[in-house]
Amino acid sequence: MPAAPRSSHPALPWLAALAVVVLWASSFIGIRFSGAHLSPGAMTLLRVGTAALVLLPLVTLGRVHLPRGARMWAAVLGWGVAWFFLYLFVLNAAELYLDAATAAMLVNLAPLIVAVASGLLLGEGISARLLVGVVIALGGIGLITVATSTGHVEGPGLVLGLLAALLYAGSVLWQKPMLAHIDSTSMTVVGIWAGFLASLPFAPQLVAEVQVAPASAIASMVYLGVGPTAIAFLLWGYALTRTPAGVLTSSSLVVPALTVVMAWLMLGEVPPPLAAVGGVLCLAGAGVSILPSVVRSLRATPSLTVPDHTA
């Protein structure tokens, strides 16, 4: 069993979740930019390889505890391959057939899947408020998609986008119960290294492509490895240990709204009025879903110790 961490303020998991959604929103900008110069496999290897190297000091400092037993090893490695190789690769490949707006809409079906499945499978219960909030936010995502889509949508992209959503939801549901047996930092580091090893067959492709790709495209993927992967997933694991999976995943419903704002500020893509309305709905829906849990946790008195695993 993992050791209990030091005391934690009840606001910290939600601050971690806020950082995660900002970092994940920026990843759509990076994928959109680098995808014009690098193939899906090369992008995946460069991103997760960077994350694996960034997290290596945690291993040398003794912060990573290896899984115990063959069954736990298999579970963590399988989760890592699903989350940090298959999901990333499928998402990159989907945007070959879809514009970024449509891809983001499909991927963000995951919070609805997690909200229902965590209630049925993890015993978290299915809150009407949570489902209403998710539906409101999905309506906002739909408006953003209608307003910003370029119309570049092909059948394989729809299949890949839905598969990415299923991998996202499945990985969250897979991780939550395992945190009762392994601490979130160790699980994240081992999982990312599993994803890196699974991505190695794309090494020749990456070597060939980086020789002709602009430095900015390479730098963008390195950033995705450091920020939206290494840092964000450490924070995600920390927050998931301390919050219900369905509620926490609903916080990612604000990602499309943040992506629209970032594209405006960083790429000069002025959002249409309909997209702005959709962004407001995303924020409102996420607020309906998670604010009650945030308020309840902030009213709680910080405990001297917070277990690093919850059932």
Q: What is the pLDDT of residue 59?
A: 92
Distance CA 77, CA 85 (A): 11
Query: For a pLDDT cut of 70, what percent of the chain falls above it?
Result: 88
Burial of 125 (C-beta count, 10 Å sphere; 0-12/13-18/19+): exposed
Q: Please, how many CA atoms are within 13 Å of residue 109, restricted to the half-sphere of its CB?
A: 14
Rounded Cα distance between 235 and 49, Å, is 19
pLDDT at 226 over 80: yes
Residue carrying the six token digits 């002025």: 270
Distance of CA 239 to the CA centre of its chain: 12
Distance CA 283, CA 258 (A): 9
Q: How far apart are CA 263 and CA 252, in angstroms?
A: 17
Q: Which residues contact 220 (CB under 8 A, 6 or more apart)?
A: 30, 33, 34
CB 258 within 8 A of CB 75: no
Number of H helices, E strands in the chain: 15, 0
Asked whether the whole model's pTM tops 0.85, one would answer no
Task: Please say whether the beta carbons of 93 and 116 come within 8 A.
Answer: no
pLDDT at 206: 97
How confident is the model over 14-38, as pLDDT tens digits?
Answer: 899 999 999 988 888 888 889 889 9
Tell me, what's the pLDDT at 297? Answer: 66
Q: In the prediction, which pLDDT does 306 show?
A: 43
Specify the amino acid at residue 309: H
Residue type, 212: V
The set of residues, in sequence order, having a beta carbon less than 8 Å from that of 110 and lying 6+ positions away, is 165, 166, 168, 169, 172, 249, 252
